[in-house]
Homo-oligomer: A and B are copies of this chain.
Amino acid sequence: MPDERERTDTSVDGREEQAGRRNFLKGALAAGSVAASLAVEGARIPAALAQQPGMVPGTTNHYYVPATDKTVHWGYFSKLLRPLLELNSGDFVTIETLTHHANDDSERMIKGDPGAESVYHWDRQRKGVDRRGAGPMQPTLFGRGAGEGLGVHICTGPIAVRGAEPGDILEVRILDVKPRPCANPQYKGRSFGSNAAAWWGFHYKDLLTEPKPREVITIYEIDASGEQNWARAVYNFRWTPQTDPYGVVHKIIDYPGVPVDHRTVQETHGILKSVRVPIRPHFGVMGLAPSEVDLVDSIPPNYVGGNIDDWRIGKGATMYYPVAVPGGLFSAGDPHAAQGDSELGGTAIECSVTGTFQLNLRKKATLGGTALAGLNYPLLETQDEWVLHGFSYANYLTELGADAQSKIYEKSSIDLAMRDAFRKMRHFLMTTRGLSEDEAISLMSIAVDFGVTQVVDGNWGVHAIMPKNIFG
């Protein structure tokens, strides 16, 4: 990431996009029947409830948010975004999320899919979603495009939770995660993802073989039915300069969603033969809008979550986020089919998925004595574990001053993330288990596993895993 970031335009959406967003909301809300206007799925919701036309007080509703050019924000979080929906605590929502790497192979990841096509639309006249990143809309910094690619993830949302206020905790239960089937009849029954070994990867300046440096895209295939729990490589290609429909040449992967012209690249098939990659479908990005800044680059994770890139944030897991702005403003994106701890080369298998969530608001006054007391960082709970996420900077937006959004990329360090993960786990054990500092430190030495979450997101991550069964 370039160091000399600045923003000359703090508007969140272009005028057209704002209007579009409002129109979507009007359409959905005008009839007073949000649920009825949205597809409903999920065996977890009683059919009677799921078919409720609108919100019945005291019941839970199940909303559906498709991914379209009107429902996504690309490359940034913002407290200024008007929410798509406002839910009650306890409501369910199914959210489609799209990978921002779909244009690495549009035949397999976009073609025939109206939602993806609307988001990725880009011809000489118009982009489906113009702003991509938290940079200026007029790309005066680097000339890459609107938003300058300072932030890359397609996020669906935000969704507000009624009554959520700073100091509360939003509990997000991930009930289901399903790969998005390829809509191109040629690849029926399959889903596809892209893995980019890119310039922001840990390996990039440390390659052995020529040509150096290089960026390489590997396309993976998974079974859309979910019956096969592994991915396999289809082919790879070396990135070549790509000219986008506005005429800008992208020598490297410096702007999200640039269509790759496959006449300009050499596909190598037959790679990674007989290799089966276990899939771990999850969301690289899930989180709330921070309060500090109007427009926040989606890449560095933060105290309200965001791009944590922990593969454990998948089906069955629950995330807890501190609410920083009214309504919380929850978004999800950066879907992954599989990732290793560290996300070494820069990305996972970036693969569109649809998630079903339950959002529960935990009011500040009710948190005392619970595992959420004093929580000021994103916390993951799985069936067997508590997982805390440390970053090089716990809240870089306040710690690194006015230029925080560029400085964070200069200060990436696992050592610092380990320090933060240690402090958070100590806080967690002392606050929620009532341990003394000495008890907490001993327990961390003998029973907590610290791992490298990612070394590619500016604000690098170390997670700390505490098995629940330690506490009788």
Most B Cβ at <10 Å: residue of A423, A426, A444: A444
Q: How far is the CA of A348 from the CA of B208 in the complex (A)?
A: 37
**A414-B414, A472-B274 known; A343+B201 contact, CB < 8 A:** no
Q: Which of A404-449 contact B (CB under 8 A)?
A: 413-415, 418-419, 422-423, 426, 430, 435-439, 441-449
Q: How far is the CA of A215 from the CA of B215 in the complex (A)?
A: 49
Residues from chain B with Cβ under 8 Å of A340 in the complex: 444-450
Residues from chain B with Cβ under 8 Å of A43 in the complex: none
Q: Which of A167-216 contact B (CB under 8 A)?
A: 195, 197, 201-203, 206-209, 216
Residue of B nearest to A460 (CB): B415
Q: How far is the CA of A342 from the CA of B390 in the complex (A)?
A: 14
A46 in contact (CB, < 8 A) = no
A278→B423 contact, CB < 8 A: no
The distance from the CB of A410 to the nearest CB of chain B, in whole angstroms, is: 14
Q: How far is the CA of A422 from the CA of B436 in the complex (A)?
A: 37
Residues from chain B with Cβ under 8 Å of A430 in the complex: 208
Q: Of A109-117, A119-127, A361-369, A463-471, which stretch is located at the interface?
A: A463-471
Q: How far is the CA of A206 from the CA of B422 in the complex (A)?
A: 10
A154 in contact (CB, < 8 A) = no
Q: Which of A251-291 contact B (CB under 8 A)?
A: 271-272, 274-278
CB-contact partner of A278 in B216, B347, B414, B470, under 8 A = B470
**A278-B469, A418-B452 known; A272+B442 contact, CB < 8 A:** yes
CB-contact partner of A206 in B345, B423, B446, under 8 A = B423
Residues from chain B with Cβ under 8 Å of A439 in the complex: 218, 233, 236, 271-272
B442→A236 contact, CB < 8 A: yes
A451 in contact (CB, < 8 A) = yes
The distance from the CB of A172 to the nearest CB of chain B, in whole angstroms, is: 24
B452→A275 contact, CB < 8 A: no
A455 in contact (CB, < 8 A) = yes
B422→A203 contact, CB < 8 A: yes
The distance from the CB of A361 to the nearest CB of chain B, in whole angstroms, is: 30
B445→A201 contact, CB < 8 A: yes
What would 27 A/B residue contacts be, using CB atoms closer than 8 Å? A195-B442, A195-B445, A197-B438, A201-B441, A202-B419, A203-B426, A206-B419, A208-B426, A208-B437, A231-B446, A271-B439, A272-B435, A272-B439, A272-B442, A274-B472, A275-B472, A278-B467, A338-B446, A339-B445, A341-B450, A341-B451, A342-B418, A345-B444, A413-B415, A414-B415, A418-B452, A450-B452
Query: With contacts A340-B445, A341-B451, A452-B452 known, what are 15 further pairs, Cβ within 8 A?
Result: A218-B442, A236-B439, A271-B436, A276-B469, A276-B470, A277-B446, A277-B447, A342-B444, A344-B441, A345-B444, A414-B418, A418-B452, A418-B455, A450-B452, A452-B462
Q: Closest 5 A-B residue pairs measured CB to CB?
A: A341-B449, A345-B445, A342-B450, A274-B472, A451-B451
